[in-house]
Structure 1
Amino acid sequence: MVRLPLTPGEVERGQRLGALLRRARGERSMLETALDARVSPETLRKIETGRVATPAFPTIAAIADVLGLSLDAVWAEINPPEPHAGPAPTRERIAS
């Protein structure tokens, strides 16, 4: 299988994810965290350093659970809102 190169946005998102997980892990050892999440310490290390910018969802879910992070918090941290001109368009109901 050929992997396409990561976009700059994917690389940045991976770096934000890694930083979030490192902060959440705090003083807890990488080995303990990885084993509790049932992932290899090498996988956790690669995610935390941004070398795996697009880890599998079950992997992130397991690590987040062990660290007490909600998936909503993870999503909000790694996908900051993009600046835009104004509020999202809304549908107006047309009276008949």
Structure 2
Amino acid sequence: MVRLPLTPAEVERGQRLGALLRRARGERSMLETALDAHVSPETLRKIESGRVATPAFPTIAAIADVLGLSLDAVWAEINQPEGGVAPTGSGHAAHEQLAS
């Protein structure tokens, strides 16, 4: 499978996702969070650093669950444009974007 290069918007969204997860994790260790979410610490590190801008939906769902974040809140936060107003859209589209 050929993976297309990420758009600047996808890279920015990945950086916002990483920042959100780091904030939500707070003082909790990356290792503890990753193990509780059943993902590797390296995967969590890459997502938090923005190196994996489009992680799989089940991965984000597991991490969000461990951190007590709703997927709606995650989606709203990572899709805010610079002005801070989240775009509207269907939930189905949200799941497709996170999974890509």
- TM-score of the two chains, using structure 1 as the length reference: 0.83
Partner of 1:94: none
In structure 2, how many angstroms separate the alpha carbons of the residues matched to 1:81 and 1:14?
A: 13
| CA distance in 1 between partners of 2:47 and 2:69 (Å) | 16
Matches within 5 A, 1:12-51: 12-51=12-51
Shift of 1:82: 8.2
Q: Which has the larger radius of gyration?
A: 1
Percent identical pairs in the alignment equals 93
Report how far residue 81 of structure 1 moved: 5.6
> Quick one: which amino acid aligns to residue 57 of structure 1?
F
Hey, what's the Cα distance between the residues in 2 that align with 1:82 and 1:31?
31
Structure 2: give runs of 5+ residues left out of the alignment. 89-100
Q: How far apart in 2 are the matches of 1:81 and 1:8?
A: 12
Cα distance in structure 1, aligned partners of 2:32 and 2:82: 36
Unaligned runs of 5+ residues in structure 1 are 89-96
Which structure features the higher share of helix residues? 2
1-structure distance, mates of 2:13, 2:80: 9
Task: Please state how far the C-alpha of 1:80 moved relative to its aligned partner.
Answer: 1.2
Runs of at least 4 residues off by over 3 Å: none
- Structure 1 residue 71 displacement after superposition: 0.3
